[in-house]
Structure 1
């Protein structure tokens, strides 16, 4: 008989929807967490009829069952970080906000409102319900389209991204990372096309902020399905491992280039990112 030799990894929790196509949502979240040496637990908020070409339908889980799933996980595991993804309805957003209120763990809010295909995933009421959850967030990670929904202002340039991130911090989030994948083309000092992600962190009660910009090479592909899920999960996993916020964001942003470059060529659509390719640095 072999000796039992268990490992004791940090535990993270994803609260998000299921992607039947496997490229985003709970499926991408758990893969990214595993790639970072973190044990992933899950609260499912909705199931989707989804593939690489788009979203065919969404079926929400009853809010009381979302609360029950959360209570089951929180009552058994020492959850060291939480991330939220697609929350489907205003009632679920409010339920999740109430559930995590007393959590002693960093909270990464990925406000999944617009799919990479352009499909709107939430009702206007659900979008409006995000304000209290954002106020509770350690970090909120919208793409440009979601930042527009949250702030009511166009987000088309890195300067717009900084303004939107500042507004989200003013709403109460400790920090905001506005992802640059959907922004107009930006070049670095050598003329290469890059993605610019903008991080704004609140530094004091009087409104002071620290601003960071992370440039990554733009990969020549449309296969970015699941990129936001993988990135927010990678950040949450790093926070669960005890990394500081700025370092966790910087490392996760840098490693996403490899996840996109080595994406999955599956399905009849553009494909999906590869969370298993994340180089988590040990």
Structure 2
């Protein structure tokens, strides 16, 4: 069985973070290991408290997994602090393993999840990443991204890794579609699914990047992994269990 590792924060409500990653890995038939960076007290209505894990213990978790398993791909999510970012960078810079980096620092609602001084530090991980998966808010903060801004697109095309920008939307033939855009060198490719009008979207970003991780570990190409992952998220939202009083979690099951 192929083994993958997620380095991310914990969501006590089970819909996002490490919990979403492991559920997604299970859905695709890969074995998921984890290294926790932060603990959160949260539910579908929001985060009430965050407790950071020491960077030294984050390092010990990652090294323990890498020492014992032949890890085929690594997903990186919420890193929270400069110390953890530095620790993770020192480990991955010498690895020959696909790295899928979800630069989690602004939520879909626009809430900041990282100190300003650490946002620039996130960029130091790009050269060691196979692909990064920012949402629209994060892409705006990182590259001043705008679909009509040629300078921001040029910045993305000059990065040392691929970039897929998620959570955009477009109207086509009077139908609203969910749009993700892949930038790879000078090429651009878009991936569409129908946009579902729902509040059950908690953890979609985490699950999307972990689905890409699982599929790359299974030997799929970047483009194929993104397409499979986007379809997976569409069905996960469509079949969400509709629980909680806020932004509900999705259904982490393949083939729904």
Larger radius of gyration: 1
| Partner SS for 1:111 | coil
The one of 172, 191, 197 equivalent to 2:160 is: 172
C-alpha displacement of 1:23: 0.6
How has the CA–CA distance of structure 1 residues 147 and 191 changed in structure 2, closer, same or farther, with 3 Å as cutoff?
Answer: same
For 1:200 and 1:42, locate their aligned partners in 2 and report how far apart those are by CA, in whole Å: 28
Normalised by the length of structure 2, the TM-score is 0.95
User: In the alignment, which residue of structure 2 is the partner of 1:6?
Assistant: none
Cα deviation code 1:163-186 (max 9, x no counterpart): 65652342321x10000x2x4x52
Q: Is the 8 A contact 2:199 2:246 kept in 1?
A: no
Q: 1:1-282 alignment to 2 at 5 Å? A: 9-151=1-143, 153=144, 155=146, 158-159=147-148, 164=152, 166-173=154-161, 175-179=162-166, 181=167, 183=168, 185-188=169-172, 190-202=173-185, 209-274=186-251, 276-279=252-255
C-alpha displacement of 1:121: 0.8
C-alpha displacement of 1:100: 1.1
C-alpha displacement of 1:124: 0.7
For 2:199 and 2:151, locate their aligned partners in 1 and report how far apart those are by CA, in whole Å: 27
How has the CA–CA distance of structure 1 residues 163 and 144 changed in structure 2, closer, same or farther, with 3 Å as cutoff?
Answer: farther
How has the CA–CA distance of structure 1 residues 63 and 139 changed in structure 2, closer, same or farther, with 3 Å as cutoff?
Answer: same
| Partner SS for 2:61 | helix
| Partner SS for 2:105 | coil
Normalised by the length of structure 1, the TM-score is 0.86
| Partner SS for 1:195 | strand
C-alpha displacement of 1:215: 1.1
How has the CA–CA distance of structure 1 residues 213 and 93 changed in structure 2, closer, same or farther, with 3 Å as cutoff?
Answer: same
How has the CA–CA distance of structure 1 residues 176 and 164 changed in structure 2, closer, same or farther, with 3 Å as cutoff?
Answer: farther
C-alpha displacement of 1:117: 3.6
| Partner SS for 1:277 | coil
Paired positions, count: 256
| Partner SS for 2:68 | coil
Q: Which residues of structure 1 form unaligned runs of 5+?
A: 1-8, 203-208
How has the CA–CA distance of structure 1 residues 89 and 100 changed in structure 2, closer, same or farther, with 3 Å as cutoff?
Answer: same
Q: Which residues of structure 2 form unaligned runs of 5+?
A: none
C-alpha displacement of 1:278: 3.1
